[in-house]
A and B are shown apart, each in its own frame.
Chain A
Amino acid sequence: MRDGFYTPSPLSKTPIISEERVKCDVFCQINNNTIMGNSVFIAGLGAISAIGNNVAECLDSLESGKAGMGHMHFFDSLHRDKLPVAEVKISNEDLSKLSGLPQTKSRTAHLSLIAAREAINDACIENIASLRTGFISANSVGGMDKSEKFFVEFLSGNSKSLPAGRQGKLRGVVNHECGSVTELVADQLGIKDYITTISTACSSSANAIFFGARMIKNNFLDVVVAGGTDALTKFTLNGFKTLMILDEKLCQPFDDNRRGLNLGEGAGYVVLVSEKVAATLKKKPLVTLSGYCNANDAYHQTASSPDGTGSFLAMSGALKKAGLHPSDIDYINLHGTGTQNNDIAEGTAIKRLFDPYFPKMSSTKTFTGHTLGACGGIEAVFSVLSLQHGIIYPNLRLETAMHDLPFTVETKFIKNYKVKHVLSNSFGFGGNCSSLIFSKV
């Protein structure tokens, strides 16, 4: 096979091929994974969720224990009085002012642009235009918030002039595709060297982040903005409702009496850079993406296997990739949705892998709700913050620890904790399980 099977698109940009590329980083040597190059650093963070419109606000809420769930204010559904959701606390009109995109565009794109832009600004990469830059984003239902409004008109056959199917303004459905949301944002960010979208349900943005890291390790890109976005939609809310896994109260992940999940919305992105780019930055990145793994539970389309096979394989695979032992992990940001099925499967896999030494653990979905295609991105941001600040987040509303598990999740916000390695779990429909490990250098 010829070397360099993929040719990145920029014509004017010179790849940064360093002499160090032939050397291998320490993790790779452990795995004898000789073709992999340098480490991939996290240079910037951006997030918007029910607990804050930017990273600083989210961090404040995490510290003060302020959850983001409640009654629907901006999102509307027949189930508004029954089902709490974790909304981003801004109307579409004000969101449009923040993002700069027109209101006619999907809320998913607005959230994405706001968080991705924050991440890029945070990274402060001066010469970004001369670097090979990619935007790898995830979402679960694209521009569905607009499509489902379009559909009401599309299906109505009441108009005398137009039969059903001829109605509805096309602008409501033109950005329906998942990839279309990504492109709206990429075009605003001015990124065109590599753009793609991943959709593997709730593990989508974890997969986007590590696909981005691999694009850098393979020397196809220098900088990647990676993560995911999802807005609340009736489509998703009703879909989850039919599965009977939504909690009518505020969710209680890893509680023995947990009842289900609360849906949320938001976006989270990290800016990944090569070691070479990291060395040129004024603000030196201190965290790497050291491990990652994608495995499939292959058990059921929507349910996890009782022993958490997929979760176990994803976590152990990520540890292997990072060259770490379970005892090296200081904190696990759990997938922890609050459903009966997820929490016992995830917990059983953790027991199998970590027993008897359990790291601190919590589900930040107790704050943000389950943001689906965005959760891997938002929780990656929280994981990096945990490493940067030496903090552990509480798992809110825990009353009774799960009887079947030998460990309890953390219930308090802890400061000055020595955090060197964080494991972040994202598991989804279709058995898709992905784990990421972030490490402090």
Chain B
Amino acid sequence: MYIRATGNISPQKTFGHLSFLTEVVEYSGNRLACIEPDYKTFIDVKLIRRMSRIIRLGVAAAMECLQEADVKIPDAIVTGTAYGCLEDTGSFLTKMVEFNEELLTPTSFIQSTHNTIGAQIGLMLKCNNYNNAFVHRGFSFESALLDGMMLLQEKDATNVLIGAIDEITNISHAILSRMGLYKNGPVSNLEMYKTISKGTIAGEGAAFFLLANEPSLNDYANLDGLKTFYKPENEKEVENQILSFLAAHSISLSDIDLIITGKNGDTISDKIYDHLTNGIFNNCSIVHYKNLCGEYPTASSFALWMGANIIKTGAVPAALEYTGNKKDEIKNILIYNHYQQTHHSLFLISAC
């Protein structure tokens, strides 16, 4: 399966066909927010006003992806979001509590539905095809991707638009901070891996991919494999899952030119990455990505976008920190990510 096009709005300058991560944006504080584009190029002005922020992010990323792919109507639209449209949910809840179930208006309720972004994309395109939404925490994007890959495999689609969208709102940031997810005090995202401390940095993003079962001249990469595993018992199981995944695709770690890991700066979360770096990943070249986009349940979509771009451009951006030996040519990339030690995923991509 081929990654034909991408569209990515993130806390970095990733949107609008810019050169690939030549310049990295530094933030101070534990919350990275998306750099929002001028939506007018992609969405009707009247529609923009009615859409909440996450819907704009998702729709714009999807539209850029379709434009790049030169696809007007995809055979399927599948989205993944762990939290859904939090701003609208929070807004309706707040009014409901404040006005004691009276004087409510429907807009934020309508937009709070988890399938809103996929539905809005379908509506804008007048696309009557398959439309699905996965909402499973750190597996949301991976489930959406698997659905799309199955549709291609089943020959029920020749191309599929797959996206991941999650936002941070003031309310969600306040609650998740109380749960101890984020670092306290001032912290630079670019220094995230240098200090060992509890917590990570909050992130958000909207990343879309057009997958096709036929190659084109402009493909980014092949998407060869995907695997998810839930609550592995120990480090040994993680190792075995990785090795069996590679074996299933007849490839060994020595053939992997680059590993992208989901290291997020939290001591507990990073333990497994450090264990692997000193273990089975010992001779591999490794880069991380969450210092760029922050941590969120669908962050692996940023990693897939980054991996696809590394393969297409043939180089790792200078701004990324390397562990291990740098390979001259990057043909095979393994992405290993986990979200809160619970949701683990592996992606294998290769040069076309």
Q: Which residues of A contact B (CB under 8 A)?
A: 1-2, 4-9, 11, 33, 35-36, 77-79, 140, 142, 147-148, 151-152, 154-155, 165-166, 170, 173-174, 177-180, 182-183, 192-201, 207, 211, 214-215, 217-218, 234-235, 238-239, 241-243, 294-302, 309-310, 313, 428-432
Contacts and interface: CB of A to CB of B under 8 A. Distances in A.
A298 B132 contact: no
A199 B133 contact: yes
Interface hub of B97, B135, B137 (most chain A Cβ within 10 A)? B135
Contact of A235 (B96, B118, B125, B226): B96
Contacts of B64: none
Contact of A148 (B96, B106, B222): B96
Contacts of B92: 235, 238-239
Given A235-B93, A238-B96, A2 B225 contact: yes
Contacts of B102: 78
Nearest to B114: A199
A154 B97 CA distance: 10
Contact of B135 (A1, A179, A192, A238): A179
A287 to B, nearest CB: 22
Interface stretch (B17-25, B197-205, B238-246, B263-271): B238-246
Contacts of A6: 146, 149-150, 225-227
Contacts of B154: 33, 35-36, 214, 217-218
B133 A195 contact: no
Contact of B127 (A200, A238, A294, A296): A296
Contacts of A299: 123
A207 B82 CA distance: 17
A4 B97 contact: no
A5 B109 contact: no
B139 interface: yes
A430 B122 CA distance: 9
B136 A196 contact: yes
A175 to B, nearest CB: 11
Nearest to B140: A179
Interface string B73-87: 000010000111000
A432 B120 CA distance: 11
Given A5-B224, A428-B115, 17 more contacts: A7-B225, A7-B244, A9-B229, A148-B96, A151-B97, A177-B83, A178-B136, A179-B136, A199-B84, A199-B115, A214-B150, A218-B154, A242-B106, A298-B127, A309-B128, A429-B110, A430-B119
A155 B122 contact: no
B181 to A, nearest CB: 11
A38 to B, nearest CB: 14
A152 B130 CA distance: 38
21 contacts: A1-B222, A7-B245, A11-B237, A142-B135, A148-B96, A165-B171, A177-B82, A177-B137, A179-B136, A179-B140, A183-B137, A195-B136, A196-B139, A199-B114, A199-B115, A296-B122, A296-B130, A298-B126, A309-B128, A428-B115, A431-B131
A35 B151 CA distance: 11
Interface stretch (B172-180, B272-280, B285-293, B324-332): B172-180
A226 B89 CA distance: 26
B188 interface: no
Contact of A430 (B127, B131, B143, B178): B131
B261 to A, nearest CB: 19
A147 B229 CA distance: 28
Contact of B119 (A182, A195, A432): A432
A437 to B, nearest CB: 16
A235 B102 CA distance: 12
Nearest to A168: B175
A238 B101 contact: yes
B257 interface: no
Given A77-B101, A174-B179, A234 B119 contact: no
A79 B109 CA distance: 17
Contact of B231 (A2, A4, A33, A192): A192
Interface hub of A7, A207, A310, A313 (most chain B Cβ within 10 A)? A7
The 5 closest A-B pairs by CB, nearest first: A430-B119, A239-B109, A179-B136, A199-B114, A242-B106
Given A11-B240, A234-B101, A300 B226 contact: no
Nearest to A182: B136
B1 A35 contact: no
Nearest to A242: B106
Given A178-B136, A179-B140, A296-B127, A170 B179 contact: yes
A155 B77 CA distance: 37
A173 B175 CA distance: 8
Nearest to B112: A239
A189 to B, nearest CB: 13
Nearest to B156: A33
A429 B114 CA distance: 10
B176 to A, nearest CB: 10
Nearest to A241: B104
